[in-house]
Structure 1
Amino acid sequence: MTTEEILEGLTAILQEVAGTDPAEVELDKSFVNDLDVDSLLMVEVVVAAEERFGVSISEDDLKDGSTVGDLVQSIQGVLAAV
């Protein structure tokens, strides 16, 4: 799965779960600082991403300063290992 495909899926998830403007979702954007996704919403985003992409994302992969790109890389890493 390409970076663009994963980013597109995450954009849809962020729009649905957090009401994020799709135009604001970029790889270098921080979930907390740039997209106003708090820890509770982040759990919902991760669960939705796990369901959508069929992966399991560990908490260690996502820290407070995580970016959209970090989550994309985590998803790609899990998919590559399968």
Structure 2
Amino acid sequence: MTEAEILNKVTEILVDQFDLEDGEVKPETNLTEDIDADSLDLFEVLNRVEDDFDIKLAVAEEIQTVQDLVNKVAAQVNA
């Protein structure tokens, strides 16, 4: 799976979870500052990402941006 495919799927999840427009989610989008996601929101997003990609992500304090999440997913999917 390519990084672009992962980014598209992660974007879909975020758009659905936070009722956003596609253009609002970019790789540099900060999940807590730009989307106002709290810890419960992030937990729900990570659970959905894990389910959709059939992976397990460690509790990820280092995930700040959409690109950080894409990188974590790519590392698991392509391992």
Question: TM-score by structure 1 length?
Answer: 0.86
Structure 1 pair 65/74, CA: closer, same or farther in 2 (3 Å)?
closer
Deviations 1:22-80 (A, max 9, x none): 21111111100112211111111111111111111111xx3276100000000011112
1:3 aligned partner = 3
2:70 pairs with 1:76: no
Q: Highest relative contact order (Cα 8 Å, sep 6+), 1 or 2?
A: 2
Could you tell me which amino acid in structure 2 is paired with residue 73 of structure 1? N
1:67 aligned partner = 65
Could you tell me which amino acid in structure 1 is paired with residue 64 of structure 2? S
Aligned partners of 1:64, 1:19: CA distance in 2, in Å?
A: 24
Report runs of 4+ in structure 1 exceeding 3 Å deviation: none
Give RMSD over aligned pairs.
1.4
Could you tell me which amino acid in structure 2 is paired with residue 46 of structure 1? L
2:17 aligned partner = 17
Work out the percentage of aligned pairs sharing the same amino acid. 32
1:55 aligned partner = 55
Aligned partners of 1:66, 1:76: CA distance in 2, in Å?
A: 16
Aligned residues: 79
- Secondary structure at 2:78's aligned position in 1? helix
Aligned partners of 1:65, 1:73: CA distance in 2, in Å?
A: 9
Unaligned runs of 5+ in 1: none
2:29 aligned partner = 29
Unaligned runs of 5+ in 2: none
Question: TM-score by structure 2 length?
Answer: 0.89
